[in-house]
Amino acid sequence: MKVLVVGGGGREHAIAWKISQSPKVEEIFCAPGNAGIKKIVKCIDISAEDIKGLADFAQKERINLTVVGPEVPLVLGIVDEFEARGLRIFGPSKAASQIEGSKVFSKKLMQKYNIPTANFKVFETAADAINYIEKIGVPLVVKADGLAAGKGVVVARKEQDAVSAVKSIMEEKVFGNAGLRVVVEEFLEGPEVTVLAFCDGKTCVPMVSSRDHKRVFDNDEGPNTGGMGAVSPAPAYSLELAEMVENQIIKKTVDAMAKEGIPFKGVLYTGLMLTNEGPRVLEYNCRFGDPEAQVVLPRLETDLIDIMQACIDGKLDKMSIRWKDEKAVCVVLASKGYPGAYEKGKAIEGVEEAEKHGALVFHAGTAEKNGMLVTSGGRVLGVTALGKDGEEARTKAYNAVSKIKFEGMHYRKDIGKVL
């Protein structure tokens, strides 16, 4: 069969790498891909957001299955367009993708169906939001309603920070229309965990847990990023907690979406805070996490194509999904200045050497220039290693990282210290 992967980051490299292991697959395309993905599949110069262009390509090439990596094409309705043309595609519909595309939608869904989350209020004017903040005080969390490339959430410990967040989102419109409404919610404390789940609209099967490290510097300091590394399984996530999350959160969410008439098919990402009162939902995403995919997919033993086909056909309840017992650690190598402004075009050395040391190197922001591998994004590479325990996985990952060099390379030194 022929498969098309949509996207061009580390998550899509991990997806393409996993799909390439399926004996059912003859040819894989990736649009637009990157310099690392190009080594294992054929990259096509079509933007992930060019839905018509992607659908035209899939029709012309007789693609048997399209897999969507990023959230933007899903929220724009790529699944609806493909299905209208009779093309098979893995991912949620435009309506179901609101679970990530609108914080207001997801918070109201949780409220209606009694799914545990932080208390919240929705505001349509900056003045109302600021009055509320001054009344209840800090700490609290301010969230832009729509997609903001992972940057639309501000944890405010000072009142001035909360007010500034509201003004920048609603008045300065730093995220455009994504900031027409804001959610102001209760501040929660505890360890964070990500649980991804395969869904077919009625059945959901949680994957092994993971934990993303979002802050740019060691000890969780500095601004939030798209993710500086990840581990799987998540520390502090027991079998008892996993059962509770599956029954009280993930299954209830999938049931709620079905009751709303918008069944969720694809990967449901549930970001959790393990509070003293129990697990609470921080956010939903409508796709694989990045870098979480880079620690979860290497632990998957079952053919990913079989799982995706079962999700599309509503037959997930017939699947038995197997996972490796090994632990996984991913360290993200970023450009100097990320998550702020950064330079591109820096020569990258040592990737092959790192791979010889037992690591998987997933490309995120890379390109080829005059036959040379160069940086082209904020997050450049994700270096993943597996081990019998967390310490072995961590040691292997950092040994591999030490082989890679580019000007201004920055990475956290504490990923996976507690597993």
Do both 147 and 196 map to the same domain?
Answer: no
| Extended strands (E) in 159-264 | 182-186, 192-200, 204-206, 211-212, 215-217, 221-224, 229-232
Do both 276 and 363 map to the same domain?
Answer: no
Has residue 104 been placed in a domain?
A: no
* CATH code for the domain in which residue 293 is found: 3.30.470.20
- The reported pLDDT for the residue numbered 286 is 98
Do both 259 and 207 map to the same domain?
Answer: yes
Give yes or no for a contact between 29 and 61, defined as CB atoms under 8 angstroms apart: yes
* CATH code for the domain in which residue 164 is found: 3.30.1490.20
From 91, 113, 135, give the residue that closes a domain. Answer: 91
Global confidence as pTM: 0.96
- The reported pLDDT for the residue numbered 236 is 85
- The reported pLDDT for the residue numbered 151 is 77
Do both 13 and 58 map to the same domain?
Answer: yes
Do both 169 and 271 map to the same domain?
Answer: no
Do both 297 and 337 map to the same domain?
Answer: no
Structure tokens at 237: 């996530």
Residue pointed to by tokens 């500034």? 164
Has residue 268 been placed in a domain?
A: yes
Do both 312 and 251 map to the same domain?
Answer: yes
The residue type of 355 is E
- The reported pLDDT for the residue numbered 233 is 97
Has residue 197 been placed in a domain?
A: yes
pLDDT tens series, the chain, 419 aa: 999 999 999 999 999 999 999 999 999 999 999 999 999 999 999 999 999 999 999 999 999 999 999 999 999 999 999 999 999 999 999 999 999 999 999 999 999 999 999 999 999 999 999 999 999 999 999 999 999 877 789 999 999 999 999 999 999 999 999 999 999 999 999 999 999 999 999 999 999 999 999 999 999 898 888 899 999 999 989 999 999 999 999 999 999 999 999 999 999 999 999 999 999 999 999 999 999 999 999 999 999 999 999 999 999 999 999 999 999 999 999 999 999 999 999 999 999 999 998 899 999 999 999 999 999 999 999 999 999 999 999 999 999 999 999 999 999 999 998 65
* CATH code for the domain in which residue 385 is found: 3.90.600.10
**Rounded-to-integer distance, Cα 386 and Cα 392, Å:** 8
**Rounded-to-integer distance, Cα 297 and Cα 323, Å:** 9
Has residue 382 been placed in a domain?
A: yes
* CATH code for the domain in which residue 28 is found: 3.40.50.20
> 401 forms bridges with which residues in the sheet?
none
Q: Which domain holds residue 301?
A: 192-318
**Rounded-to-integer distance, Cα 53 and Cα 76, Å:** 14
Has residue 106 been placed in a domain?
A: no
Do both 10 and 62 map to the same domain?
Answer: yes
- Give the total number of structural domains in the chain: 4
Has residue 99 been placed in a domain?
A: no
Name the pairing type of β-strands 265-275 and 192-200.
Answer: antiparallel
Give yes or no for a contact between 211 and 194, defined as CB atoms under 8 angstroms apart: yes
Do both 313 and 396 map to the same domain?
Answer: no
SS3 string, 358-397, reads CCEEEECCEEEECCEEEECCCEEEEEEEEECCHHHHHHHH
- The reported pLDDT for the residue numbered 223 is 85
